[in-house]
Structure 1
């Protein structure tokens, strides 16, 4: 004899799996990002020729990712930075900047899930000004293609992480 509610429970469990998959990916994106962004401390220390503690204070004083990346880029562009070092640091900060857009989207939005957890969307918490009107709260679906994009971003950020560590080790920056 079969359980008359078993099929219904299984159908409900499958969509909730999607809900958990999305939350797990967003968590991984944010963890991977935060872990990698903090490595800018070592680039600041090496480029500014300061100890790690001083670099931490500088890093924490700058309260946006953009400001932190710009500082590293400006330090790298100083005349005293060897050209090859400058190029490898600018390449890694450029890659980090590209990934920041997606990370910012998912860190600064509101999430919506339907009652089953299967359909998900984001609502951006930003104002878009045009010449005569404003728009806000753009809604976008989180579909399979978007989940693949998030997964690829996580992989890219992990590669950036390894790239920063390689620079730190190659140039003996303070750790």
Structure 2
């Protein structure tokens, strides 16, 4: 199999595309948790979900609803387990969504350039660059597998709790 720069970049783009699709699909399951935990219908939960414009804000809402006084500790713990899992998986998704891509001038290997400012004590640092090597590709594939499992587990939890679908 050809492993030249174009093939590696094509593989990266396909993996990032799958990551985005699977992430969006899995994150949207928070809608059902919001509906169930807040005792509302799915339409109201969709509006709430879409009004919150970051994954972190959506996860925070679900966690806060799960931690409310009077909540069954078993339900709370099951939901927190899933939200913490999503928060952990969001790191790699954020890395590949909040960057631009370039190529190493010598090898042609794809590189990410983070679109983030790192404030230091006396200066700032822009655009940390990382080469997307085979290890990074395998890491994305592992996250895809973990997202598949998370998606299935969250759907099972929604059904178990009888939350709106």
Cross-structure match for 2:135: 145
In 2, distance between residues paired with 1:173 and 1:30? 25
Whether the aligned pair in 2 keeps the contact of 1:42 and 1:174 (CA below 8 Å) is yes
How many residues are treated as equivalent by the alignment?
A: 165
Change (3 A) 1:70 1:20: same
Change (3 A) 1:15 1:136: closer
Cα RMSD for the two superposed structures: 1.8
Cross-structure match for 1:159: 149
Whether the aligned pair in 1 keeps the contact of 2:113 and 2:129 (CA below 8 Å) is yes
What are structure 1's unaligned runs of at least 5 residues?
A: 1-9
Match of 2:89 among 95, 99, 115: 99
Whether the aligned pair in 1 keeps the contact of 2:63 and 2:80 (CA below 8 Å) is yes
- Tell me by how many angstroms 1:15 deviates: 3.6
- Provide TM-score, normalisation by structure 1: 0.89
Give runs of aligned pairs for residues 37-52 of structure 1, distance below 5 A: 37-52=27-42
In 2, distance between residues paired with 1:22 and 1:101? 17
Cross-structure match for 1:90: 80
Whether the aligned pair in 1 keeps the contact of 2:5 and 2:110 (CA below 8 Å) is no
- Provide TM-score, normalisation by structure 2: 0.94
